[in-house]
Amino acid sequence: MRVGLLGGTFDPPHAGHLHAARTAMRRLQLDRVWWLVSPQNPLKPRRASDLERRMSLVADLAREPGMVVSDIEARIGTTRTIDLLHHFKTHKPGVKFVWLMGADNLASIHRWAHWQGVFAAYPVAVIARPTDAVRARLSPAARYFAHSRIPESEAAILPELEAPAWTYLTARLHPHASSDIRRTQRQSR
């Protein structure tokens, strides 16, 4: 089983998230994409909206075959990606996981707790975003793990590789961002 792990607060979820999940599923030849709805991003001071509501919104968005929505972070009591990945290593040893993230996260992952451990735990696929392509490719993480990057043309083998291994997936860029949606919602009130 080849599974992509798409984590985030999804506050709110939008078509850009679905685009990333579809791109990863197709290009990495995944059997599933697990949407891991986080109770809270520990790096953001703004409190995330209600978890159950976000879970419901993600479930409405990710209805396609192979898309699975989970609140595993809340159930195991963590908001740190590294803890989640260690949980999967222990409880799902036969699954070939790939951590999925947008280019915006590659640009800032060096601020995450034990960010190098994320790359060491599972292969990583970075999906291009309209505003972060250059910043992501020049980020501390991209430079640190430059030796582990595989060409995009070989993306289908990524789930089979030992970590650290990563690739940068370019696809039709999707303009939606949760922060923009929240800003528009606040302005319309």
Summarised one tens digit per residue, pLDDT across range 11-67 is: 999 999 999 999 999 999 999 999 999 999 888 888 888 999 999 999 999 999 999
pLDDT band at 129 (very low <50, low <70, confident <90, very high): confident
pLDDT value at position 171?
76
Domain ranges for the chain, please list them: 2-187
Question: What is the chain's mean pLDDT, rounded?
Answer: 90
pTM of the model: 0.89
Summarised one tens digit per residue, pLDDT across range 132-153 is: 678 888 999 999 999 999 999 9
Summarised one tens digit per residue, pLDDT across range 147-188 is: 999 999 999 999 999 999 999 998 765 555 545 543 554 455
Q: Map the chain to HEC letters.
A: CEEEEEEECCCCCCHHHHHHHHHHHHHHCCCEEEEEECCCCCCCCCCCCCHHHHHHHHHHHCCCCCEEEECHHHHHCCCCHHHHHHHHHHHCCCCEEEEEEEHHHHHHHHHCCCHHHHHHHCCEEEECCCCCHHHHHCCHHHHHCHHHECCHHHHHHHHHCCCCCEEEECCCCCCCCHHHHHHHHHHCC
CATH top class, domain 2-187: alpha beta
